[in-house]
Chains A and B, each alone.
Chain A
Amino acid sequence: MKTSKALAIPYIVWILIFTVIPLGLVVVFALTDSDGGFTLQNLFDMSSYMAVLFRSIIFAMIATVICLVLAFPAAYFISRARSFNQSTLIVFIMVPMWISFILRTYAWMTLLEPNGLINRFLGLFGIGPLNLINNAGAVILGMVYNYLPFMILPLYSVMVKIDQSVIEAAQDLGSSRLSLVRRVILPLSMPGINTGIIAVFIPSVSTFVISRMLGGGTNDLIGDLIESQFLGASYNPHLGSAMALVLMVVVLFMMSLFNQFGSEEEGTMI
Chain B
Amino acid sequence: MKSVYAKLYMYLLYIFLYLPILVLIVFSFNASKSRANWTGFTFDWYIRLFNNEDILRSLVNTVIIAVAASVLATVLGTVAALGIHSMKKTPRSLIMGATYIPVINPEIIMGISLMLLFKFFVDYFGFKFGFVSLILAHISFDVPYVIYNVLPKLRTMNPNLVEAACDLGCNQRMAFFKVVIPEIMPGIFSGFLMALTYSVDDFVVSYFTSGVGVQTLSITIESMTRLKISPEINALSAIIFVVISAILITKNIIENRRLRHERNLVRLAMSKEASG
Min C-beta distance of B61 to chain A, whole Å: 15
| Known contacts A74-B10, A241-B116, A223 near B104 by CB under 8 Å | no
- Which residue of the partner chain, among A14, A17, A23, A99, contacts B21 with CB atoms under 8 Å? A99
- Which residue of the partner chain, among B10, B21, B108, B244, contacts A77 with CB atoms under 8 Å? B10
B274 interfacial by beta-carbon distance below 8 Å: no
| CB-nearest residue of chain A to B34 | A115
Please tell me if the beta carbons of A23 and B113 are within 8 angstroms of each other in the complex: yes
Min C-beta distance of A243 to chain B, whole Å: 9
Q: Contact string, B228-255, partner A, CB cutoff 8 A, digits 1/0?
A: 0000010011001100110011011001
Q: CB-CB < 8 A to B20: which residues of A?
A: 104, 107-108, 110-111, 145
B87 interfacial by beta-carbon distance below 8 Å: yes
Please tell me if the beta carbons of B82 and A120 are within 8 angstroms of each other in the complex: no
22 examples of A-B residue contacts, CB within 8 angstroms: A3-B83, A3-B176, A7-B86, A8-B82, A8-B83, A11-B76, A15-B95, A21-B117, A26-B112, A29-B116, A88-B252, A89-B10, A95-B248, A100-B203, A106-B24, A106-B237, A115-B36, A116-B36, A117-B36, A120-B36, A231-B208, A255-B104
Please tell me if the beta carbons of B114 and A22 are within 8 angstroms of each other in the complex: yes
Please tell me if the beta carbons of A3 and B237 are within 8 angstroms of each other in the complex: no
Please tell me if the beta carbons of B80 and A104 are within 8 angstroms of each other in the complex: no
Min C-beta distance of A103 to chain B, whole Å: 5
Q: CB-CB < 8 A to A148: which residues of B?
A: 17
A178 interfacial by beta-carbon distance below 8 Å: no
- Which residue of the partner chain, among A18, A91, A103, A223, contacts B108 with CB atoms under 8 Å? A223
| CB-nearest residue of chain B to A26 | B113
| CB-nearest residue of chain A to B161 | A1
Q: CB-CB < 8 A to B251: which residues of A?
A: 91
Min C-beta distance of B236 to chain A, whole Å: 8
Q: Count of chain A residues with Cβ under 8 Å from any Cβ of B?
A: 88
- Which residue of the partner chain, among A8, A104, A203, contacts B84 with CB atoms under 8 Å? A8
Min C-beta distance of B151 to chain A, whole Å: 12
Please tell me if the beta carbons of A19 and B86 are within 8 angstroms of each other in the complex: no
Please tell me if the beta carbons of B117 and A18 are within 8 angstroms of each other in the complex: yes
Min C-beta distance of A73 to chain B, whole Å: 6
Binding site for A on B (CB under 8 A): 1, 6, 9-10, 13-14, 16-18, 20-21, 23-24, 27, 35-37, 76-77, 79-80, 82-87, 95, 98-99, 101-102, 104-110, 112-117, 119-120, 136-137, 139-140, 143, 154, 157, 159, 161-162, 172, 176, 180, 197, 201, 203-204, 207-208, 218, 221-222, 225-226, 233, 236-237, 240-241, 244-245, 248-249, 251-252, 255-256, 259-260
Q: CB-CB < 8 A to B176: which residues of A?
A: 3
- Which residue of the partner chain, among B112, B161, B240, contacts A100 with CB atoms under 8 Å? B240
A213 interfacial by beta-carbon distance below 8 Å: yes
Q: CB-CB < 8 A to B106: which residues of A?
A: 202-203, 205-206, 223, 247-248, 251
Please tell me if the beta carbons of B104 and A198 are within 8 angstroms of each other in the complex: yes
- Which residue of the partner chain, among A18, A23, A77, A145, contacts B9 with CB atoms under 8 Å? A77
Distance, CA A249 to CA B106, complexed state (A): 11
Distance, CA A84 to CA B251, complexed state (A): 13
B interface secondary structure, majority: helix
Please tell me if the beta carbons of B83 and A77 are within 8 angstroms of each other in the complex: no
Q: CB-CB < 8 A to A18: which residues of B?
A: 114, 117, 136-137, 139-140
Q: CB-CB < 8 A to A7: which residues of B?
A: 79-80, 82-83, 86
- Which residue of the partner chain, among B116, B180, B236, contacts A25 with CB atoms under 8 Å? B116
Distance, CA A173 to CA B119, complexed state (A): 65
- Which residue of the partner chain, among B35, B120, B241, contacts A116 with CB atoms under 8 Å? B35
A93 interfacial by beta-carbon distance below 8 Å: yes
Min C-beta distance of B173 to chain A, whole Å: 12
Q: Would you list which residues of chain A between 17 and 41 have a CB under 8 Å from chain B?
A: 17-23, 25-26, 29
| Known contacts A4-B86, A206-B108, A237 near B116 by CB under 8 Å | yes
- Please provide the 6 A-B residue pairs with the shortest distance between their CB atoms, ordered closest to farther: A8-B83, A11-B80, A7-B83, A206-B106, A22-B113, A107-B20
Min C-beta distance of B35 to chain A, whole Å: 4
| CB-nearest residue of chain B to A198 | B104
Please tell me if the beta carbons of A209 and B35 are within 8 angstroms of each other in the complex: no
Please tell me if the beta carbons of A91 and B116 are within 8 angstroms of each other in the complex: no
| Known contacts A3-B83, A99-B237, A8 near B95 by CB under 8 Å | yes
Q: CB-CB < 8 A to A223: which residues of B?
A: 106, 108
Q: CB-CB < 8 A to B208: which residues of A?
A: 230-231
- Which residue of the partner chain, among A117, A207, A212, A240, contacts B35 with CB atoms under 8 Å? A117
Distance, CA A7 to CA B92, complexed state (A): 13
Distance, CA A23 to CA B101, complexed state (A): 10
| Known contacts A25-B117, A103-B221, A8 near B87 by CB under 8 Å | yes
Min C-beta distance of B263 to chain A, whole Å: 9
Please tell me if the beta carbons of B116 and A22 are within 8 angstroms of each other in the complex: yes
Q: CB-CB < 8 A to B108: which residues of A?
A: 206-208, 223, 226-227, 244, 247
Please tell me if the beta carbons of B222 and A102 are within 8 angstroms of each other in the complex: yes
